[in-house]
Chains A and B, each alone.
Chain A
Amino acid sequence: MPRTTISVDHVARVEGHGNVHVVIEDGVVKDVKMEIVEPARMFESMVKGRSYKEASYISSRICGICSASHVITDLKAVEQAFGIEVSQRTSMVRELLVYGSYLQNHAAHLFVFATPDFINEASIFPLAKSNPDLFAKALELKGLGNRLCTAVGGRSIHPITAVAGGFTHEIGAAEYLAFADEMEAMVPFAQDVVDLFAGFRICDFQTQGDMLALVQPDYYPVQSSDTLRFFGDGVEEFATADAFDHISEYQVDHSGAFFAKRASNGKPYMTAALARINASWDHLGKTAKIASAKAGLRPPALNPMLNNVAQAVELVDALERCARICRELAKGEGSCTPAPVRPKAGVGVGVTEAPRGVVVHKLEFDDRGCVVKASITTPTAQNLANLECDIRLLAGMLAESGTSERIIRAEVEKLIRAYDPCISCSVH
């Protein structure tokens, strides 16, 4: 093949504005650029001088779909800086909120964004006619996530009730129990979703980058852990408070988002559902683990295209876990009433697993509780360098075997969407 340039301006069915350019010469990939052209909103500079009361409200607006994660991450940073301990109940309600956003995100990503790739359609809307049952059930699952976020956070995105130290409002036992029933009833469909995605044909290749995820003994953590783990080329565990010592961000001209690499070895890495499943496979619930194994997804799983299946497995796990948390909360033990906040000068680092991977907010406060400095990195910003490497690998492999330009382009787009990039988050 002579020189070919594959360019997709404004990759569709992802959150935000990104372009991809791949240059192939004589079957060899010469250049790959994932251009991140999302408008920069300067959140880190915007929260400077703002009170801790406003910080999480503002940073929620980094991203609509990841808003629950940004809020909880920011609140954890505030609480660490001021030395606030939250109750067990608050932690459980937070977990429910984060998982609500997993249901929303994974269902939206898998069906609205990814599925059209595998059924040769431009969007999900034709599925309403061709497979109305699947379409209705997919919307129902996404709707369950929305309703959970609305019940816990006050609306489906940009939660209202989550504040430093607790929640300003909580639903009653009957509502928790009703959700538990609904979650359990939805599990069989989520199992079908795992099978559906396991059945889609994907290119066989492995990422060469490392992976990053939160880890916790005997638990599959999304917001409850203070330990991060890099793995792949050597295991490296560290406290979330030191996250920015281990993650090295750098600026490139073709992206409004900062790229990132693992500081200790300079390698790009992936953080996503796939990284979580590789890191915490042992702590998946039984149903999710069986579904995953049946789908052929078990560690080490290094094909980034499997992130779709990993998200589907997490749907099964999230539903069962949420049902359990709801039943526990319905017992009415403990309180979520916000703990008293006494601002003081200091630094706090919040880290959670957003649906798309590890998100870090580091906030430095003055003695009045106003932000002096903020540093934020999102899953997609961290993934971009690895995504470029994976596109190079995939396009190279396909070009070498003489695949047509049209198919290379389609596979590259599929890969980008499998990463579930959240571009508006990444630029922030």
Chain B
Amino acid sequence: MRSYECNRAANSSEVECLPTPRVVVIGLASCFGCQLQITNMEQHLMDVVGQFELVYWQLASSEPMPQEYDVAVIEGAVTTLESMETVRQLRQKAKTIITIGACANTAGIPGIAAAGFNGHSSEVYSQGVPNACGQVIAPRSVGSVIQVDYQVPCCPIDFYDFSAVLSRALYGSNRTVPNRTMCGDCKRNETQCFFEKGELCLGLVTKGGCGARCPKLGRPCFGCAGLSKDANLDAARDSVARYGIEVAEFESRLQLFNQTNEALCEGAKGEYHA
């Protein structure tokens, strides 16, 4: 397996060898699924891991967190004051921050609890939130706390997206990040539209790029990639109503992955930096 600097050197003997980037992987409030997705591509795992020095990954190794590193890969939403401090420290030390998955990018599923947060915590913990949980706060995206350099979208992430973003972060790329909505992907796949069957689908407003995997398998989009910057929410509401689907259902479905997006709720945290 050839390493990062050897590749460079092989192309031109004049290019100076760059030090191997040191990468840490951190999990916040999440299902750990995005970290698993990284391990779930067995045949490519060692090729990808071989590109850098993986200096901290609690899921796979008992090596302790180092003092210095170059790239921090963050999974999960920020749900405590302690994790807010953690991500701030990561930002201070790392040259590059990559967030992976909906929880980190948009607060994702944990973000559902952001609305009326205190009610949620007192309902689950009738005797008060245990000390072990830390100082809980309304869930928010990593990007609402610190500047994020790259995002890997969806719930869960796709390994190839991760690998593409990583290589972009390590080697650079002039490819633009698509803003289109997912609807177009379905057209390309020639998948029958769910609206024609009277079923709500969030492909209208959700960021594209996933290949519309769910609709292709018979399941409407639930919006895990987050709202597209190009989303025209008002036009989407009109379309929903035109197909005889309740707009309230559309609004409710949008909350699954966009509860803290300010495009939907004024004053909420959830700005994007990618």
Given A40-B79, A46-B109, A46-B120, does the pair A163, B58 have CB atoms closer than 8 Å?
Answer: no
| B134–A123 CB distance below 8 A | no
| A122–B33 CB distance below 8 A | no
| B214–A160 CB distance below 8 A | yes
Which residues of A are found within 8 Å of B127, using beta-carbon distances? 251
| Interface CB pairs A-B, < 8 A, 13 | A16-B32, A39-B77, A39-B136, A46-B120, A58-B109, A63-B31, A64-B32, A108-B39, A122-B61, A158-B33, A252-B130, A424-B30, A424-B31
**Bound: A168/B113 CA distance, A:** 29
B156 interface neighbour in A13, A64, A140, A143, Cβ under 8 Å: A64
Which residues of B are found within 8 Å of A39, using beta-carbon distances? 28-29, 76-77, 79-80, 83, 110, 133-134, 136
Report B95-138 CB contacts with A as 1/0, cut-off 8 Å: 00000000000001110110000011101111101111110100
Task: Identify the stretch in A82-90, A176-184, A186-194, A253-261 within 8 Å (CB) of chain B at 4 or more residues.
Answer: A253-261
A285 within 8 A of B: no
A242 within 8 A of B: no
Chain B residues numbered 16-40 whose CB sits less than 8 Å from any CB in chain A: 27-37, 39-40
B180 within 8 A of A: no
A41 interface neighbour in B35, B109, B130, B218, Cβ under 8 Å: B109
A397 within 8 A of B: no
What residues of chain B have their CB less than 8 Å away from a CB belonging to chain A? Answer: 27-37, 39-40, 42-43, 45-46, 49, 57-63, 76-77, 79-80, 83, 108-110, 112-113, 119-121, 123-127, 129-134, 136, 139, 155-156, 213-214, 217-219, 222, 249, 252-253, 256
Q: How many residues of A contact B (CB 8 A)?
A: 61
A42 interface neighbour in B43, B59, B120, B252, Cβ under 8 Å: B120
Given A67-B31, A157-B40, does the pair A112, B125 have CB atoms closer than 8 Å?
Answer: no
Q: Is the interface of A mostly helix, strand, loop or mixed?
A: loop
| B42–A146 CB distance below 8 A | yes
A155 within 8 A of B: yes
Which residues of A are found within 8 Å of B134, using beta-carbon distances? 37, 39
Chain A residues numbered 61-90 whose CB sits less than 8 Å from any CB in chain B: 61-65, 67
Which residues of B are found within 8 Å of A155, using beta-carbon distances? 156, 213
For the A-B complex with A13-B61, A40-B125 known, give 8 more contacts whose Cβ atoms are closer than 8 Å: A39-B133, A46-B120, A58-B109, A108-B36, A158-B33, A160-B213, A160-B217, A256-B130
- CB nearest neighbor in A for B102: A61
A36 within 8 A of B: yes
- CB nearest neighbor in A for B36: A64
**Bound: A41/B110 CA distance, A:** 6
Q: Which 4 A-B pairs have the closest CB atoms?
A: A64-B33, A168-B218, A123-B61, A12-B62
| B132–A254 CB distance below 8 A | yes
**Bound: A141/B105 CA distance, A:** 32
| A13–B33 CB distance below 8 A | no
B218 interface neighbour in A10, A17, A124, A169, Cβ under 8 Å: A169
Which residues of B are found within 8 Å of A255, using beta-carbon distances? 130, 132
